[in-house]
Structure 1
Amino acid sequence: MNHTSSRDSSIIVHPSAIVDPLARIGAGTQIGPWCMVGPDVVLGDGVRLHANVVIDGHTRLGDGVEVFPFVTIGMAPQDLKYRGEPTRCEIGSRTVIRENVTIHRGTAQGHQLTKIGAHCLIMANSHVAHDCFIGDGVIIVNNVVMGGHVVIGDGARIMGSAALHQFVRIGHGALVGGVCGVEADVIPYGSVLGNRARLVGLHWIWLRRQGVDAAEIQAMRRAFRILYPRTGATARDGVLEERVNIVRREFADIPRVLEIVAFMEAPSRRGLVRGRRPGSDTSDIEGA
């Protein structure tokens, strides 16, 4: 049974859909066959649920969000500590969520919120776990899985079948290669590859597409080679800290370099992804 009599006439609800009368549905929203919408759900204007979509919990979808079949959003987290607390899930405007994606609400022990930004694309069969924060304009390709409390910065690209360990941070504009296991934090604009992620360079193509000029890109390249020298030496106590201090002094007028430095110095549960192995020269690898 659906409940359209008291709603805006522009709302279209298929007769087979089950929409709780307490749910708040924005103008121009379309709810397709066999969808289920719970009582605490808020759908913005122009949302489209194609078919067989389940949205539950204290969940809010922004204007123009499009959700494809067999997606679940706002279901209880896969966390044994969860006891039914009224935690939340939010999806930003114009985000597209493709088939079979699962997005779980937060936990009381975490942020109490799982949040995906605006203008994102979450491709088929991906999983966004409890308390994850995903920025604006992020693309997550098919079959990506992430543990709880993952943070992904604006504009990042996570390629197919990558796996992100819980509490990992992925910086602004970073690229995670396909079938890549990420166990530690990836710096802003960093590019990581490998079965166990290793930093191989910066995300040059993305930077160019964002209109970053050649002079700044060259400065970022020099800073990167100081932070991650070709010898691959990153492990000895104090060495990385010294290189960070050098970069901070020499590139004080380059905001993106300072953003990388600030990320590296911020508190972390997982530490930083290591650089490429000694002897390899992949610092100029391009990323899509």
Structure 2
Amino acid sequence: ATPVRLPGEGPQRVLRTIDDARGLRDALKPGVRLVVVGAGWIGAEVATAAAKIGAVVTVVEAADSPLQVALGDEVGGQTAAWYGQSGVDLRLGVSVREIGSAGLLLGDGEWLPADEVVVGVGVRPETGWLAGSGLGLDRGVVVDEHLAAGWDEGGVGPAEPPVVVVGDCAAWWSRRYGRRLRVEHWECAQGSPAVAAATLLGGEAVYDPVPYFWSEQFGRMVQVVGLAGEQDTLVWRGDPTTVAEPAAKRAPGWSAGWFGPDGRLTAIATVNRPMDAVAARRLIAADTVIDPARFEDPSVALKNLAAAA
């Protein structure tokens, strides 16, 4: 996949390769005016590191909350306060028109000066080189639950010789969710090759994991497990508005769970509650029905909810 870049002739950095990371590390110094475009995972992590170094950090986000795509406004909005607590200026609902030689022109016409600009607004799968190949392409390379591609444009039927696809460009069919997924997290690239290899050897292995991702930002460990549906109900576990005491090494933890109409836990976002993430991953994988009322009580271990269901 290739990072999305914004219009304009000015210099802009992305964070995709080790060379990108080394270049950014060398550029970040105390007092440097850094503007990060995008308050997603990349933006939050870059802002965290830069603020620790002593850079003057501004984060510009077009959506109304950080992590809106990943977590939605209600949960993602809980992370907005973390920016100010770390000395980062977060500007929500602000678009970027173009990047200039010494800053950014925002959508409302304001000029925002910057010494360095990092753009973290997503990636696009690298499939252009496959145009005209006959493989099915739809926001990635279309593959089945075995990660096998098809020669026709609809991605139906196995290719001969077999073609398998892994990583950010694989749009694979999930039996669990009944739809095609393209997951850009490292765990997909780590876990899918074994299934692809089995498919090449004539096996029937199925790739259908419960999505998982983690991020460290502003002194907090954020973990996301599963995939919430549009009709799911959000249930809080702990108080997301609690602020850490000045002497505390880590902010208090909380979680937010999404429950389907049938009472099954479909997804969870945890903050400084790693055991919730571990237990939830097992519960979601097993399609376990649990009591949302007991889920709300952070003193009850999630691993015990399955037995009580």
TM-score, shorter chain, exceeding 0.5 = no
TM bucket normalised to smaller: under 0.3
By percentage of residues, which structure has more helix?
Answer: 2
Using structure 1 for the length normalisation, give the TM-score.
0.24
Task: Give the TM-score taking structure 2 as reference length.
Answer: 0.23
